Structure 1
Amino acid sequence: MLFYLKENIFKRFKRRELEKKGLIQTRQRLKQGETFGTAFEKSKAVWILILMIVWAVCAAVMIYPSGDDLSISFVENQQSTSTVFADFDFSYIDSEKTRIKRDNAVSEEPLIYKIDVQSTENTVNLVSEFFQEFEKRISLKEGEKYLPNPLSKASIIVQSLSNETCSILSIVLQTQDKRKLFLGEIENIMGRGVLDPGEIREKPSFTFRIVDEKGRLRKKSLKSIDIPVPEEASLEISRSIARYYSPENRKSFEIAIKTIVSEIISQNLIFDSGMTEQMKKSAEESVSPVKVEVKRGNVIIEKGKIVDKEGIQRFQTYRQERESRQGYIVFWKNLVNVSIISLFLMILNGIYLFYIHPEVIKSNQKIALVGTVIIINLVLNTAAIKMFHIFGSAFNLPPVMTSSVVPLAMTSIILSVMIGLRAAAYAGLFVSLIAAIQLNNSFHVLICGMVISIIAGIAVRHSTNHRSYFLRGALAVSLVLPLIEILHLWNLSEKTDLIMISAALSVANGILVTALSMAIIFILEMSFRISTDMSLLILCDYNHPLLKRLQFEAPGTYHHSIVVSTLAEQAANDIMANPIKARVCSLFHDIGKLTTPEYFIENNMGEGNKHDDLNPRMSSLVILNHVKDGVDLAIKYKLRKIIRDAIEQHHGTDLVMFFYQRAVDEGRETDSTVAEIDYRYPGPLPHEKEVVIVSLADSCEAASRTLQKPSQAKIDSLVWEILRKRIRDGQLNDAELTFGELAKIRQSFVKTLTTMMHGRVTYPKDEEKEDYEDDLFKASKTVSDAGKNEDEKDDSKGM
């Protein structure tokens, strides 16, 4: 087994060495319709698979958690080791503030006092009894003595009155109306309520509400100073009644009335502890919890600060909210949501490309390229967001600065030079939408990505070399992105140092994104066989090994290729095609002639025609094989696919007319038939504009060599005849050209060939000068011969 493997490996390496030396041909062939690449290009299953992969990646990056690592823990009254920013808006209940607020509500809730109905009735009854007893006393005749009833308080009060007081009260209570007034004042004050003086002493000032005799809670809250104690109530009643009498007697009336009322009236407000507790509990329950709103991007825990109780509560609430948003049910709900959104965005993108870039939709290769670039950009965006969260927590950088490090311009920078500006700008907008959703539906990220994608794509689309590409891309992103970020942060009133850091990160973003895009382009060009102008321009270097071989081994073909490249480049420029692509394809289109350069007339240096000794069929095989040999050389030297296509297609299925006609003439003599298919190139027909231009330029340049005394009219007629012949023969059936573009190509060819093949003015000969020059040559020859003879004599003497 080991011997078998050793032999096969040795044979494989041996064959590779022979292929490198050109001793045998390579096994690889890119023949139309026979390669895996062709199946890949046409397969609908592959087309669907590519879109499904892009869809899956879009949904994955949108649902991927991008927040900070919340597994860390903080200790109260210790310094924080990292900063935690809020990734979303949330609120939490501040227990400490809620407790303080509820304590304030309980303390501010009035006490409940109820009017003691029995006390009020007793007071009113005491007043009525007093009236009766007082009537008895003032009704006594002179010499009679009032005998009190020891069981009656009213009787004892009446017995304690002095004669002076009795005479004053007799005036106050002499009529029934005055007695009603007296009783009404007492009922009024008792209805308002009378406080116990002892409670005033215990609580000098408090607020309370009163429950009246019917059990109704009065709405108005009163202060303790607003309700009288019995002493104050007596004074108030005495003043109220005495004001109906003359001012000179008012004072004595007040004293007399106060003496009686102070004995009669008593407190009737009783503290209701049960109802007070109930009201305080209701007040406490009515206080809503204190909610603290935390906006997205706000600091939850700041590095270097002492962690307080409120900070720990805020962090724990945020962690719980994050965990609830990442639950099993929520995960599937979010997955369905982001899948629908990404599918909708892909459909919009597809509709745009279908109408603006239909060649992209029809090519699995280009769809795969666009999808791959989008996937790479989305993955890098996610990585950049994650890294920013890590370093942002370490250096106190707020999440609002995330857009300064996300490589939003990458898709546009890459696709602008590989496919086109419009497709690149729209793909960049697609990536920006996904990034905006990743960053909590950030409108700023969407606008920033859209502006950067368009400007960066415009900046790099005409880059012809890698240095220009890097400078254009880096400058575009490094100038525009910092400006957007500075305006955004300034509008948010961020600190100046954060604005400067964001600007520096944006500049670094532009440089790194452009450099990384260049590296990715190298990989994508090899993977998808798509060439950019930058890589094609490198192949235009005349020091390329194949062009150097062509220059020395087939100089006529080399000159022909240079002229064709001039024709093709000018024509491509006139019809707004890619002139660099046309030029490089022209330079390499005939490299297959290196195999047998002497069998092509442009390389014949005055020797006999090699085809004179060959029959027409053999000659045609030599001519036809230069296409196959050219493809083999292109594969061996790893030339771009577009160049291999130009080599394979530049003759299409054209007929080698000279040898075919010669074979037909010989066939008539031998009475044999000639198959036209044997004298036609295998194809395929040219398709891309640049390859079609190379094919037409090749024919026109070769045919122009046959003109005698070429003029603009002759060249125009020749070019027009070649174009008509190609159209009649169906060689342009697959060409992406319009008749208007063919007309411009014809005008370009005529103009270029006319200037190349113009005649020169015949200069007059100066015969005297020519005779003089002949004499100089003769003199120099004589001197040279004399020197040789002397040298021979010296040599003979030495011998």
Structure 2
Amino acid sequence: MDIQSMICRIRSYVSDRVLTLIVFFLLAILMFVLLYTHVKPETYQIELFSVSDRTIRSQVTIVDEQKTEEEKKRAATEVEEAYVYKSDIVNNRLLLVDSLFDFVLEAKTKYPEDQTEQLLFLKKRFTNEAEDATKVIGDEELSSLLEAKPKELELLKKKTAGLVESSLENRIRAEEVATAKAEIVNQVRTSSIPDEYQDAAAAIASYAIVPTVVYDKELTQKRRKEAMENVEPVRILQGQVIVQEGHLIDRETYRQLELLGLLKNDPSYKPVIGLLIFIAVVLFLLYYYFHYSPMEEEKKTSAVLLSSAVFLFSLLLMKLADLLDFSDFYELTYAYPAALAAMLLTVLVNERIAIMVTIVLSACGSMVFNEQLNGTLNVEMGLYILFSGLAGVLFLMGSKNINLLRAGMLVSLVNVFVILFLKLLVSGQYTQTEFLYFTLFSFLSGLLSAVLTMGMLPFIEAAFGMLSKMKLIELSSPNQPLLKKLLTETPGTYHHSVMVANLSEAACEAIGANGLLARVGCYYHDIGKTKHPQFFIENQGSLGNPHDQLPPEVSKDIIISHVTDGVKMLKEHKLPQEIIDVAEQHHGTTLVKYFYFQAKKINPDIEESDFRYVGPKPQTKELAVINIADSVEAAVRSMDHPTTEQIETLVEQIVSDRLCDGQFSECDISLKELQIVKKTLCESLSGIFHSRIKYPGVEEVAPAKQS
């Protein structure tokens, strides 16, 4: 049993939607099985303080939070404490010096004769809640100051304050105060201050010395915070060696292995969850596309099966390429036929699904070709597959004459430029030999894609019952046995078929239908006329019309039989079902008017249904267009020197007649599209002014050419 028969048998048990869901479910399972080994975390059975039996590398890039925190603390401790110079302290200490000398003058003024009271007054003034100068300045020093004259005190104050100011401006820290006090005492001793006052001046100056550079807690904390923020996160890089083979696994190494999820007792399931999400998104997009696709249900199901099969085959090729060990010759990986799926689906289905599958395959390729680092993505390979596949679609889409080998050559050129761009962009240190291999194998990839596409197309078409563009082009060749038979035995019908093919193709393309299918179908649509060629006016020439000697019922049967005869011949020659449908449906259930009215003259009670084609009515847009074009071409051919206005009137009349007769009720062609079809047919026919032989007595449509 072939695949097509098996699909038909399955569809007899389940609906197309259920079958599609089953296909996607199986596709999800197979994708998971094929990709799981490339994303699952690789874990090891390792004990602390054991010797590693292999070199273990990190499979991902991850931030080491513990190390980062340690680095931040270290950076904070390295920041020195912040000290700031306080100029107001200098001013305050100078004011203090001035005040002490002023108190001496005040004591002398208040108690001019009583030195004891003067001394008591000074001690009281030198002592308050904030200051107690008496601890440093003794009675002897105070007494010496009380004996000085006012001018001497003023001069002494000025010199002492100057020394204090000079010392305090040197930015004194707390630990430098003792040294500063000693220095200022020495300065007083060596100054011009009289000897009898030096002890008092030294005591006051020493007392005035305090730290002028003080610790700033807020500034220190701010600087330490900035230092911590400037610390770059410590990362364990992808591919970084965690432990070398034969080295001891210490606590730090064990901690890193645990952090990376490389220990069997603590595996990470996040990559697996990520893979499941990826598969779900891919299948949702594919299902959404096919669900809303305008294709017929039968063709849609075949497209789902074919797309899934091609995708899985390409994925299996990736898996095979990965299983082959190219570690010593890794450039060979780029010979993978990256454009194979894109080219197959472009030819067999359409460009949209080819692009979707190419994008999904590029994502899968970045997982499969991850250089044995599970859980990582090879973005370079993903881009290579993406560009190669898109190039395959581009060079095949919209082409009426498909040349797979030419498309493969163009894909090869794109592959070469893409691989050079990728390798040069990352500034890889590659040798000329390596660049040569990259170029050679990427070029081979495109050719291999084309060759495999050509080799697989016939088998896929036969298995899935698909009709590709290449098959249509092959069927359009005049060397085909049936077309050769049509040309040699019924040249008039052959010419008519070619004319209808031209008209149908132009009209189909104008409404976005399959013009190539319409053209090739028209070549074969009247093949049944080869059974009785002389009964059709285009083959009679100057000979008489045999219908003149036959009853209308017999003539009707001969005319209608060309449809059933044609279907039988096409099936015998195993032509695709789409071509058979054209022959079977191109008349729909229209009435053979001429012979019906002839019969009605003889028998008014004749049934109209007996003079109708058996049908079915056109089921697709292409068949609706062929139905119109066939009648229009025959009608115009029967006119003498038709004008543009006459052609437009005739086309409008035929289309209106078909609509009123319900011939388009089973296909999805719209009134807007019919308007476009009429306009296109009129434009095409306006250039045809050949003189035609008019069938005797015909008013509307050529009687013997109900085609």
Per-residue deviation at 1:674? 3.3
Distance 1:443 1:736 in 2: 44
Residues 1:551 and 2:483 aligned together = no
Decide whether the 8 Å contact of 1:654 with 1:731 is kept in 2. Answer: yes
Offset from partner CA, 1:27-51 (integer Å, 9 cap, x none) = xxx9xxxx76985996333222222
Aligned to 1:748: 680
Residues 1:363 and 2:300 aligned together = yes
Output aligned runs, 1:637-648, within 5 Å. 637-648=573-584
Decide whether the 8 Å contact of 1:463 with 1:534 is kept in 2. Answer: no
Residues 1:471 and 2:403 aligned together = no
Output aligned runs, 1:348-747, within 5 Å. 348-355=285-292, 363-387=300-324, 390-392=325-327, 394-395=328-329, 397=330, 404-438=334-368, 439=370, 440-466=376-402, 468-480=403-415, 482-484=417-419, 486-488=421-423, 490-491=425-426, 493-496=428-431, 497-668=433-604, 673-747=605-679
**Is the alpha carbon distance of 1:87 and 1:492 closer, same or farther for their aligned partners in structure 2, counting shifts above 3 Å?**
farther
Distance 1:360 1:437 in 2: 34
Per-residue deviation at 1:373? 1.5
**Is the alpha carbon distance of 1:328 and 1:718 closer, same or farther for their aligned partners in structure 2, counting shifts above 3 Å?**
farther
Per-residue deviation at 1:376? 1.4
Distance 1:298 1:358 in 2: 54
Distance 1:585 1:311 in 2: 76
**Is the alpha carbon distance of 1:629 and 1:298 closer, same or farther for their aligned partners in structure 2, counting shifts above 3 Å?**
farther
Among residues 22, 25, 28, which one is paired with 1:52 in the alignment?
25
Output aligned runs, 1:301-312, within 5 Å. none
**Is the alpha carbon distance of 1:63 and 1:485 closer, same or farther for their aligned partners in structure 2, counting shifts above 3 Å?**
farther
**Is the alpha carbon distance of 1:293 and 1:596 closer, same or farther for their aligned partners in structure 2, counting shifts above 3 Å?**
same
Per-residue deviation at 1:683? 2.1
Per-residue deviation at 1:638? 2.5
Distance 2:395 2:55 in 1: 38
TM-score, length basis structure 1: 0.54
Offset from partner CA, 1:265-318 (integer Å, 9 cap, x none) = xxxxxxxxxxxxxxxxxxxxxxxxxx99784498999xxxxxx856999xxx9x
**Is the alpha carbon distance of 1:519 and 1:495 closer, same or farther for their aligned partners in structure 2, counting shifts above 3 Å?**
same
Per-residue deviation at 1:613? 4.7
**Is the alpha carbon distance of 1:328 and 1:299 closer, same or farther for their aligned partners in structure 2, counting shifts above 3 Å?**
closer
Distance 1:328 1:619 in 2: 88
Where 2:667 maps in the other structure, the secondary structure is: coil
Offset from partner CA, 1:505-540 (integer Å, 9 cap, x none) = 211112112221222222222222322322212222
**Larger of the two Rg values belongs to structure:** 1
**Is the alpha carbon distance of 1:86 and 1:410 closer, same or farther for their aligned partners in structure 2, counting shifts above 3 Å?**
farther
Distance 2:626 2:240 in 1: 59
Per-residue deviation at 1:610? 3.4
Per-residue deviation at 1:446? 3.5
Per-residue deviation at 1:630? 1.2
Per-residue deviation at 1:503? 2.9
Amino acid at match of 2:434: L
Among residues 347, 363, 366, which one is paired with 2:284 in the alignment?
347
Decide whether the 8 Å contact of 1:404 with 1:482 is kept in 2. Answer: no
Per-residue deviation at 1:384? 1.8
Distance 1:327 1:675 in 2: 85
Distance 2:570 2:33 in 1: 41
Unaligned stretches of 5+ residues in structure 1: 1-29, 71-82, 92-290, 302-307, 761-799
Amino acid at match of 2:630: D
Among residues 59, 74, 91, which one is paired with 1:88 in the alignment?
59
Per-residue deviation at 1:614? 4.1
Distance 1:495 1:505 in 2: 15
Distance 1:406 1:443 in 2: 16
Amino acid at match of 1:524: I
Distance 1:370 1:737 in 2: 27
Where 1:58 maps in the other structure, the secondary structure is: helix
Where 1:755 maps in the other structure, the secondary structure is: coil
Distance 2:523 2:353 in 1: 30
**Is the alpha carbon distance of 1:335 and 1:501 closer, same or farther for their aligned partners in structure 2, counting shifts above 3 Å?**
same
Where 1:391 maps in the other structure, the secondary structure is: coil
Per-residue deviation at 1:569? 2.7
Amino acid at match of 2:396: V
Aligned to 2:51: none
Distance 2:603 2:367 in 1: 75
Distance 1:680 1:328 in 2: 79
Distance 2:583 2:55 in 1: 62
Amino acid at match of 1:516: L
- Paired positions, count: 494
Decide whether the 8 Å contact of 1:592 with 1:628 is kept in 2. Answer: yes
Where 1:441 maps in the other structure, the secondary structure is: coil
Decide whether the 8 Å contact of 1:715 with 1:750 is kept in 2. Answer: yes
CA-based RMSD of the aligned residues comes to: 4.3
**Is the alpha carbon distance of 1:350 and 1:42 closer, same or farther for their aligned partners in structure 2, counting shifts above 3 Å?**
same
Amino acid at match of 1:425: I
Decide whether the 8 Å contact of 2:58 with 2:237 is kept in 1. Answer: no
Amino acid at match of 2:394: I
Per-residue deviation at 1:720? 0.9
Decide whether the 8 Å contact of 2:388 with 2:414 is kept in 1. Answer: no
Decide whether the 8 Å contact of 1:365 with 1:528 is kept in 2. Answer: yes
Decide whether the 8 Å contact of 1:360 with 1:366 is kept in 2. Answer: no
Amino acid at match of 1:59: F
Amino acid at match of 1:539: L
Per-residue deviation at 1:380? 1.3
Distance 2:674 2:464 in 1: 30
Per-residue deviation at 1:360? 7.9
Distance 2:293 2:532 in 1: 46
Distance 1:410 1:530 in 2: 17
Amino acid at match of 1:514: A
Offset from partner CA, 1:390-438 (integer Å, 9 cap, x none) = 132x44x3xxx68624433222222223222222111211222222233
Unaligned stretches of 5+ residues in structure 2: 44-53, 63-233, 371-375, 693-707
Decide whether the 8 Å contact of 1:648 with 1:683 is kept in 2. Answer: yes
Amino acid at match of 2:29: A
Calculate percent identity across the aligned residue pairs.
27
Decide whether the 8 Å contact of 1:353 with 1:423 is kept in 2. Answer: no
Amino acid at match of 1:552: T
Amino acid at match of 2:304: I
